[in-house]
Homo-oligomer: A and B are copies of this chain.
Amino acid sequence: SSSLSSKYSKTSQPHVDHRVLATAQKLFTPSPYAPGSPLFLPNGTHVINKLISFLRAQYRQYGFREVLTPNIYKKSLWEVSGHWQNYKDDMYEVRGRGATGETEGEIGEDESYGLKPMNCPGHCLLFKSQNHSYKELPVRYADFSPLHRNEVSGSLSGLTRVRRFHQDDGHIFCRPHQIGKEIASALSFVDMVMNTFGLGQYRLVLSTRPEKDFIGSIELWDSAEAQLRDALNDGRRTWELNAGDGAFYGPKIDIQLQDSDGKYHQLSTIQLDLNLPRRFGLEYHVAEGEPDYNPDTPGKATPVLIHRAIFGSLERFLALLIEHYAGRWPFWLSPRQGIILSVQQDEAVLRRVQEALVQFSGFHPVDGDSGDIQPLSSSETTFLIDVDTSNQSLGKKLQRAKQLKYNLIFVLGSRNLVDGTIEVDVTGQMQSGGDNTLGKFSQVVESHLGMGF
């Protein structure tokens, strides 16, 4: 449903659909030329990029390394992975000169391509391209590639039912006895994300081996499930069992958010996979005496694959956040962090507005060829500050700035020129959450005005 996230909103305001808020805040716009794939305007792109930077920082802590993989792969890859057989209707086929789709068989020029609906096969190719010793496992890849799934058009809506989306996708290749620790890390990651975004109650659901038609040995399933249970028991969240409800290729843990009616909604999944590593013939080197040493395949063992996402679809997570914050972005995510309003429009005031803009935003805008430009350091924090020096009354400007939900409104008039002050009105959510930019901004204001806020 397109308003799935509505019930998570903690504000007492009436619920507003994310599509309505997105239009008011210029976050994204739909187009009939790209059904199910909204175009993100600068403000929406800013929030998505902030979510990605947040995740990238966490990936450092959690030992993931980001990779960048192709968007289209020849049909034969999807046959190896099994998607061509089982997922064909939901996949787009890509054709062109040299990829007419008219031949069958080998990896060849005339095979058509599949537009990728998921990253796992590409990550298997990456894993396979390198030699791996048991000492360097787990190997953890993360990927923000665009994904395409051919949803039927009747179900498309805003950011919650789309055909093109990005996941905070990750794949862990590990040794069988490492499953427990990886699951514990993943659960701790989930918990940290939920706390950071203030997303309240959630539960975990473990789905275990189906009665029949599963692949892999019962011993491996039993060991894996025992490690999943231990990790769940060691965690601090309630969990439930869905006995026999796992996929044929491995058990999984679903993460479900509770809404204000007590109902649970699927957010993301941690899925074990005993199938893809075998289909791709993945292996790592293992020394005799190690627990995963198998005399039948001396020196070689097959890794376990764990698919995991925390946000799931970034687009869907963004929709959830838009409604959760009711458009009032916390400072660190906000595309409208501050605005400077002029009380009068005389030259002295306008000059001071421009000066304050440079001080608060953290950079000098380049206008034409103004001599030797130094690169702006990408490790410095800058801020999104606008100005309103129009001829409207201050009352009108204040009203507009509040409607646009700026976090901070600065007011600058001729009487501020005398003592070098600025009036500051804190109108937005100022908690920082995922970074320390709020503290940095406070320091910036303090250093230029001799006062914090």
Contacts and interface: CB of A to CB of B under 8 A. Distances in A.
A41 interface: yes
A370 interface: yes
Interface stretch (A46-54, A202-210, A240-248, A349-357): A46-54
A98 B151 CA distance: 10
Given A66-B46, A185-B367, A437-B379, A115 B231 contact: no
A37 B72 contact: yes
A405 interface: no
A188 B373 contact: yes
A141 B42 CA distance: 8
B377 A234 contact: no
Chain A contact residues, majority secondary structure: mixed
Interface in A247-281: none
A61 B77 CA distance: 43
Interface string A76-89: 11000000000001
Contact of A122 (B39, B77, B96, B234): B39
Given A192-B373, A378-B54, A436-B380, A92 B63 contact: no
Contacts of A375: 54, 57-58, 192, 196, 433-435
A168 interface: no
Contact of A188 (B45, B370, B382): B370
Interface string A419-433: 000000000000001
Contacts of A122: 34, 39
Contacts of A49: 56, 66
A164 B61 contact: no
Contacts of A434: 375, 377-378
Interface in A363-389: 363-370, 373-382
Interface string A168-193: 00000000000011001101110110
A31 interface: yes
Contacts of A77: 33-34
B48 A185 contact: no
A113 interface: yes
A185 B369 contact: yes
A379 B65 CA distance: 18
A31 B91 CA distance: 21
A58 B375 CA distance: 6
Given A96-B91, A98-B153, A33 B76 contact: yes
Per assembly, the copies of the chain total 2
A376 B73 contact: no
Contacts of A180: 368
A299 interface: no
A104 interface: no
Nearest to A140: B42
A94 B189 CA distance: 37
A74 interface: yes
Interface in A86-132: 89-99, 107, 109, 113, 115, 122, 125-126, 129-130
A201 interface: no
A41 B67 contact: yes
Given A71-B148, A72-B148, A379-B440, 5 more contacts: A32-B107, A33-B125, A61-B364, A192-B374, A231-B369
Closest 4 A/B residue pairs (Cβ): A42-B65, A40-B68, A184-B369, A34-B70
Interface of A: 26, 29, 31-35, 37, 39-42, 44-46, 48-50, 53-54, 56-58, 60-63, 65-74, 76-77, 89-99, 107, 109, 113, 115, 122, 125-126, 129-130, 141, 146, 148, 150, 152-153, 164, 180-181, 184-185, 187-189, 191-192, 196, 231, 234-235, 361, 363-370, 373-382, 433-437, 440
16 contacts: A41-B130, A42-B65, A45-B66, A48-B68, A49-B66, A60-B376, A61-B373, A61-B376, A71-B146, A71-B164, A72-B164, A185-B368, A192-B373, A235-B369, A379-B437, A379-B440
